[in-house]
A = this chain, B = another copy of it.
Amino acid sequence: SQSSHRLLAYSDALISIIATVMILPVAHTAVETNEELRQSLQVLLSTKIAVFLMTFLIVSMAWAAHSRLFQVIVRIDDSLALFNLVCMMLITLLPYTFSLMASFPEHVLGILLFCSCVMVIGMVQTVIVIYAFRRPHLLHQRLQGSPHLPEYQHHLLRVILRVPLMCLLASLAAAVCFQLSYVLLAVVIFLPYMSSWLQWLRIKVLGPEEEPAGELLLYSFLPHEPVSKERLEAFSDGVYAIVATLLILDICEDNVPDPSVVSQRFNGSLVLALRSYGPEYLAYFGSFATVGLLWFVHHSLFLHVTKVTRLMGLLNTFSLAFVGGLPLAYQLTHEFPRHSQNELEAIQISCVIIFFAGLFQLCIWVVALHSQKECLGPAVRYGGREHLLMFAKLWLYPCVALGTFLLTCVLSQFSSPIFHLMELTVPVAFLLLRLLLRLLLALRHSL
């Protein structure tokens, strides 16, 4: 048997990239510049963005299920590695089948394809579980000598097959009435979230039920269940990395001028040709700084997180979904003519995206503070040495994004420069923040 470390790192990279890269078909939608915004943008928002967000949530759910499965199966062999590759290939089909379903909501085939994709993933995971439970040396140490192994396998399969069974129901329902199957699918997608909230509510109202066997806690839907911190970080890194790359990809595809254009329109002067791309470069630097610093805040926060609960994982997924929307924001801000109403709204959308990405990061911290003894290192707990600094770091982006949004509403003439200035000054603000807090602390000590 082999260590599963690299297999999981590869799966994290693959799934995070697939979840995020689906913003490209949205971002590459040709926007008609001659028609006024309200219409084109609202159609864009109502369908394509919704599809992207749903795809992101669905793929994140598949990742979460994969992550929890491999918290139980901790070692692998060649066959498991190959089964996992099949599983990965099926996960890559989720965005495609989902967008087919979204494009043809009234065709039963779309529903059937998406549901069968989910069902086949469930089948492959079932095979993985059965294969691994026949070789207990592949399992988590706490399970290896356990007499309850068959019960545990049963429990695991029941949890894994819950979603595929709902999909089976949905595809059967599609034969009768396709609206019904969408209701069922909506239940499927929100099932883990709902079930964890229901369990949480039950615990709050009725008090904790009879304690489940210790090992069963490893695979449940409780909101306090620990999530693998290492894998959550790897998944987040993948999202931040691909977003940063999609930005430069746009620059490389669109902003290398054609030699014939340069010789005809710019009298052969490459300097003039590149100067016309000035706003694009500014937008790139600003966007990269934003993505990089959001990663930096995430990194700073998780350095001090000692245990990640499912609720924190969920908030992280929401934050990442907004980060994944940044390439769209970047594309929109420089696709419209300057000083148009469209450009103003595109910049405001960017502010909203940055605001929510930062806000959900802040929520992770608030939830972690709620049970700080388990979840946080001593330095950032209430009264800790770095508590104030962390607080400031996490507040910075939501505040700045909100402030920029309000400023662009008031000074609508200067929206674009204000926005890029904001993006580029935040790094400086980080350093100033640090100095300021040090001064404050030094002052407090001396008094």
Which residues of A does B touch, CB under 8 Å?
A: 2-3, 6-7, 9-10, 13-14, 17-18, 21-22, 24-25, 28, 78, 81-82, 85, 88-89, 92-93, 95-96, 99-100, 103-104, 107, 109-110, 233-234, 237-238, 240-242, 244-245, 247-249, 251-253, 255-257, 259, 262, 270-271, 274, 285, 288-289, 292-293, 295-296, 299-300, 302-303, 427, 430-431, 434
Contact = CB atoms under 8 A, between A and B. Distances in A.
Given A103-B256, A109-B270, A296 B85 contact: yes
A-B pairs with lowest CB-CB distance, top 7: A13-B241, A85-B292, A14-B241, A92-B248, A17-B245, A10-B237, A107-B270
A92 B21 contact: no
Contacts of A82: 296, 427, 430-431
B10 A245 contact: no
Contacts of A28: 253
Contacts of A103: 256-257, 259
Number of copies: 2
Contacts of A242: 17, 242
A262 B300 CA distance: 50
A316 to B, nearest CB: 14
Given A81-B299, A285-B89, A296-B81, A248 B7 contact: no
A6 B99 contact: no
22 contacts: A6-B237, A10-B240, A10-B295, A13-B13, A13-B238, A17-B17, A17-B242, A17-B245, A78-B296, A78-B300, A78-B434, A81-B296, A82-B431, A89-B292, A92-B245, A92-B247, A92-B288, A104-B262, A104-B270, A107-B270, A109-B270, A242-B242
A103 B18 CA distance: 31
A434 B78 CA distance: 10
A187 to B, nearest CB: 25
Contacts of A233: 6, 9
Q: Among the interface residues A28, A96, A285, which one has the most CB atoms of the partner chain B within 10 A? A: A96
A95 B7 CA distance: 29
A110 B257 CA distance: 12
Given A10-B240, A256-B100, A299-B81, A24 B249 contact: yes
B96 A237 contact: no
Given A6-B237, A252-B95, A109 B296 contact: no
A248 B93 contact: yes
A241 B251 CA distance: 22
Contacts of A95: 248, 252
A93 B89 CA distance: 32
A297 to B, nearest CB: 11
B96 A252 contact: yes
A271 B104 CA distance: 12
Contacts of A238: 13, 241
A326 B19 CA distance: 21
Given A14-B245, A96-B248, 20 more contacts: A2-B303, A6-B303, A9-B234, A13-B13, A17-B17, A21-B249, A24-B249, A24-B253, A25-B252, A78-B296, A78-B434, A82-B431, A85-B292, A85-B293, A89-B289, A99-B252, A100-B256, A103-B256, A103-B259, A109-B270
A96 B251 CA distance: 7
A238 B13 CA distance: 7
